Chains A and B, each alone.
Chain A
Amino acid sequence: MSLAPISQKWPADRAILFVHGIGNAKPGDCDALINLLKEGLGAEAGKYAYYPLYYDEINDWFKEKANFSEAIKALKNAIKPNLGNDNISDTIAEYSGDIIWPVLSYAAYDTIQTFYAAQLQRMIMDGADSGVSAAKQKISIICHSMGCFHTYEMLHKASDNPLLNLTPDKLCFANVIFMASPVQLIRTVAQKSKALVSDKLAVLKSSGLFCPSKKTIFWKYYSTKNWVSITGDYDPVGGYLMKKKLDWAYMDVLTQKSIVDKQDMLNINTAADLASVLGQALISGGPPNITVNNPHSWENYVKNHQEEIKQWLIA
């Protein structure tokens, strides 16, 4: 089994875990994002241990085990025999499977959660091995898209299951930064399909979405000191559609710091932009360069908030 948590020495007292979203994420795929973050951190970048959590291999286990691509192919052929090449079945299986497995299959969900917990435990042990006592460690999480769902569930699992030794009194995250979180969207859909979904999902708790905590004799500990939600007003995964907030899809945790980016679908938003694009087209003799922005891009969220992220991380 190649699945193993990453282990490394810490340069100082802090570490960041990156949790990716859907797609065929392989080891190395988070490197560009980590470099972008390092760029924003500047001289501080060397003080962090960077841990990407590549869990997509687990989704692939279930996809292969159940021959999901074949099932999609059969379904596609049944619906429309001449839809096109079969590569699309693999793509559908890859992307839809990343959502279907962890939400509908408790085994897939629990495997990912177990791997996630093991990575967090490994991080604390790495910090201790590097001479930073567990009580002094500053661990942050930056997650995107489906990674937000896994993170939300992990925070609750850590809080609810003392046997993981990750309860908030033992591990309080310095920051948990959710980018384009579909947590509320999944809660809404899961509530509508309760018969198919495991009731063990934290998003289904009757009390709604909240930051988990643990009350001890002396104090009440929260999972994180800084719960941040960043999304964009063109990002449907994050709960906005065409600049309109969808209450049933937007994650709104009471204690969260909410940031909604103003986004543009095209690279032309003003008369000056239009003039510039047309001018370039005249000079080059080619067609006007009109591009569509990806409102769900993880890199763009990090790039747009480099300064704030730096402030949160170094606090």
Chain B
Amino acid sequence: MADCVKKISLGLVLLCLAGPVVAGDAVLSLPQYVSLLGRVATSMMAVKAAVSLDSIAPGLGDTLAAEIIVIERFANKYSALNEFKTKAHWAETDVVKHDLTNNRDLNNALDGVMEILKHLEGNPSVDNSTIALRDSLHLYRLHYSYEAGMKKLQRYGKKYGPQSARLNPVDGMLNIFLLQYLPGFRPDSTGPGPLEFISAYSSSYVTAYNAETEKLFKDIGIVSALEIGVRYYFLGEGWGEEGFWKGIAKPGFATAGLLVTGEEAGFFKSPLKGKESYGLFLSWGGLKAGYIVGDNSRILLSRQFQVVPYLF
């Protein structure tokens, strides 16, 4: 009799749980999440009370109790976040997404719950509702994993995709095969490292200078230069989107490094011929500026493009 009551009460609890959660719904709001995790914790306590878990596997009752504590902890955290959101009118579901896609404690606890529910699937009084609850939990978590994966792909697309800055073959091989092991350059669980080494020849700098003190240039001219530096990709959302103003406000990358120009100015001149001048350059997306120090000091301006496709 007692066993029968336990089964019926377990069935009712799980049925109530499964009801509001519909498989296939992709996104939960923060209050819905708070509610879902709270209900999972509460119901699993009911499961623990109704079923002799230790007779299924020794120590299973304690395992479930630990999992319930973890889930409750996250439910309380989200609840506090939701409270803050209501007061501050600040929408914040990223914390939930982050926890569900990165926090191993929460994921392990939910996995444990799913496993126990799967084991209870054979119980005739709880069968359909257990499947529904387990599936719902699985699908919500899957959705966030998918979303995280797509964001990771977007970040890879920003650094390596068709809109990314091109490298000459030497830099390409250096970055992709050798520097991939260095922090900042190497990928991590969220996608590519933001850094990229560059050593490029640019023949598109324009400069203006004092004709009286300058022997080789007249007012405005083209300067060829060697650039050695590091490119930083802005991999966050909203950066690197197409469009002129977007490209200026939030470009895909910025670059900084050493600039070397040669004695002779002009298009396609060697920066290493004659007496070299050194300085620094900085780019913000496609816009680039440099400053040469010393006797020949001057400001250089340029725009990022490859004069010779694939090479410079």
Contacts and interface: CB of A to CB of B under 8 A. Distances in A.
Contacts of A111: 153, 156, 160
A122 B26 CA distance: 11
Interface string B40-76: 0000000000000000110010010000000000000
Interface in A89-128: 101, 104-108, 110-111, 114-115, 117-118, 121-122, 124-125, 128
A1 B115 contact: no
Interface residues of A, number: 47
Contact of B24 (A118, A128, A198, A216): A128
Interface of B is mostly: helix
Contacts of A125: 24, 26, 139, 142-143, 146
Contacts of B132: 133
A218 B59 CA distance: 12
A210 interface: no
A1 B149 contact: no
Given A1-B153, A66-B173, A70-B311, A217 B101 contact: no
Given A1-B154, A67-B172, A163 B107 contact: yes
Contacts of B245: none
B167 A66 contact: yes
Interface string B165-199: 01111011101110010000011000010000000
A65 interface: yes
B176 A107 contact: yes
Given A118-B146, A121-B145, A129-B24, A66 B172 contact: yes
B164 interface: yes
Nearest to B130: A135
Contacts of B149: 114, 117-118, 121, 164
B221 interface: no
Contact of B135 (A74, A117, A135, A165): A135
B58 to A, nearest CB: 10
Contacts of A71: 169, 172-173
A301 interface: no
Contacts of B104: 162-163
B134 interface: yes
B310 A217 contact: no
A128 B139 contact: yes
Nearest to B157: A1
B139 A134 contact: yes
Interface in B1-53: 23-24, 26
Interface in B230-272: none
A218 B142 contact: no
A105 B160 CA distance: 12
B160 A61 contact: yes
B177 A110 contact: no
B157 A3 contact: yes
A71 B154 CA distance: 27
A196 interface: yes
A170 interface: yes
Contacts of B274: none
A118 B150 contact: yes
B176 A134 contact: no
A70 B142 contact: no
B1 to A, nearest CB: 28
A64 B168 CA distance: 10
Contacts of A114: 149, 152-153, 156
B294 interface: no
Contacts of A65: 160, 164, 166-167, 172, 176
B108 interface: yes
A242 to B, nearest CB: 34
A133 B187 contact: no
Contacts of B298: none
A134 B26 CA distance: 14
A169 interface: yes
Nearest to B116: A217
Nearest to B306: A67
A68 interface: yes
The 7 A-B residue pairs with the shortest CB-CB distance, nearest first, are A66-B172, A71-B169, A121-B146, A1-B157, A118-B149, A67-B310, A111-B156
5 contacts: A110-B187, A114-B152, A128-B139, A134-B139, A196-B177
Interface of A: 1, 3, 61-62, 64-71, 74, 101, 104-108, 110-111, 114-115, 117-118, 121-122, 124-125, 128-129, 133-135, 162-167, 169-170, 196, 198, 216-218
Interface of B: 23-24, 26, 56-57, 60, 63, 101-102, 104, 107-108, 111-112, 114-116, 118-119, 131-132, 134-135, 138-139, 141-143, 145-146, 148-150, 152-154, 156-157, 159-162, 164, 166-169, 171-173, 175-177, 180, 186-187, 192, 310-311
